[in-house]
C-alpha cells in the first residue's frame, strides 16, 4: 500500500461554481426567485476569491435579492446574505473535493488492509469516504452532522477508528 498524498486544497475557479453548486446553494439558502444563478455566481466568486466584491457584482446581487420584500424588510444587507451563501457553497465544494480525493487516491483494497492492521471493522467504501473527509476537511469535517458525522453515526464507527485507519494510510 502506498502512502496517501497530502491534500493541498483547491484554488477556486469560476468553473468550480457550476450551475449545480450555485443552484443547490440558492435552494438551501431559500433565496428569492429574483436572484439569478449567474448574478450569485459572479458575486460568490468575487467574495470567495478576494474577500471583496466588485461594485458591479454587489449592486446586481443586492438589486435581485432586495426585489423580494421579505429580504428587503428584514434589515439585513446583501453582503451578509452573500457571506451566508458563500458558506453553503464552501460546504458543497468541500464535498466535491472529498469525492475527488477519494476517487483519485483511495482504493478499497488499501482501506481493507488498513482496517485489518488497525483492528477496525467497517464497510471499505464508507470508510474510504470518511478517510477522504478527514484528509480534506480535517477532524471538524468528521463532525458535520449532515455529512460525515451522520455516516459515522449510521455505521456505528467512532471518530477514533476513522482517524486511526486514516493515520495508518497516511503513514503516521
How far apart are the C-alpha atoms of 136 and 3, rounded to whole Å? 15
20/171: higher pLDDT: 20
Region 38-57: mean pLDDT is: 93
pLDDT at 167: 95
Residue 65 has a pLDDT of 85
Q: How many of the other CB atoms lie within 10 Å of CB of 58?
A: 19
Give the pLDDT score at 2: 81
Contact 141, 134 (CB under 8 A): yes
pLDDT at 73 over 60: no
Are 35 and 65 contacting, i.e. CB atoms less than 8 angstroms apart? yes
Q: Does residue 65 contact residue 71 with C-beta atoms inside 8 Å?
A: yes
- Give pLDDT, residue 74: 59
Output the pLDDT for position 1: 82
Q: What are 10's three cell numbers?
A: 483547491
Q: What is the pLDDT of residue 124?
A: 96
Stretch 97-105: mean pLDDT? 97
Instruction: Give residue 103's pLDDT band: very low, low, confident or very high (50, 70, 90).
Output: very high
Task: Say what the pLDDT of residue 172 is.
Answer: 63
What is the pLDDT, as a whole number, of residue 149?
86
User: Residue written as cell 480534506?
Assistant: 136
Q: What is the average pLDDT across 83-98?
A: 94
In this model, does residue 72 exceed pLDDT 70? no
Quick one: average pLDDT of 102-113?
Answer: 97
Q: What share of the chain is helix, strand, coil (3-state, %, to 5)?
A: 70, 0, 30
Identify the pLDDT of residue 52. Answer: 85
Is the predicted pLDDT of residue 134 greater than 80, yes or no? yes
What mean pLDDT do residues 145-151 have?
86
Average pLDDT over residues 152-170: 94
Q: What percent of the chain has pLDDT over 90?
A: 73
Distances (CA, A) of 148 to 41, 68, 123, 132: 27, 35, 14, 10
Amino acid at each position: 500500500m502506498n502512502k496517501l498524498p497530502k491534500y493541498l486544497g483547491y484554488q477556486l475557479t469560476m468553473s468550480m461554481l457550476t450551475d449545480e453548486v450555485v443552484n443547490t446553494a440558492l435552494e438551501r439558502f431559500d433565496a428569492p426567485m429574483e436572484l439569478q444563478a449567474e448574478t450569485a455566481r459572479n458575486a460568490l466568486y468575487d467574495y470567495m476569491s478576494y474577500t471583496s466584491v466588485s461594485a458591479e457584482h454587489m449592486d446586481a446581487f443586492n438589486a435581485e435579492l432586495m426585489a423580494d420584500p421579505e429580504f428587503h424588510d428584514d434589515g439585513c444587507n446583501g453582503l451578509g446574505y452573500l457571506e451566508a451563501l458563500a458558506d453553503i457553497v464552501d460546504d458543497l465544494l468541500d464535498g466535491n473535493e472529498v469525492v475527488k480525493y477519494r476517487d483519485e487516491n483511495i482504493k478499497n483494497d488499501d482501506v481493507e488492509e488498513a482496517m485489518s492492521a488497525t483492528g477496525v471493522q467497517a464497510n471499505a467504501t464508507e470508510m474510504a469516504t470518511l478517510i477522504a473527509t478527514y484528509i480534506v476537511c480535517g477532524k471538524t469535517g468528521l463532525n458535520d452532522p449532515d455529512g460525515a458525522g451522520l455516516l459515522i453515526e449510521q455505521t456505528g464507527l467512532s471518530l477514533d477508528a476513522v482517524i486511526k485507519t486514516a493515520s495508518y494510510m497516511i503513514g503516521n
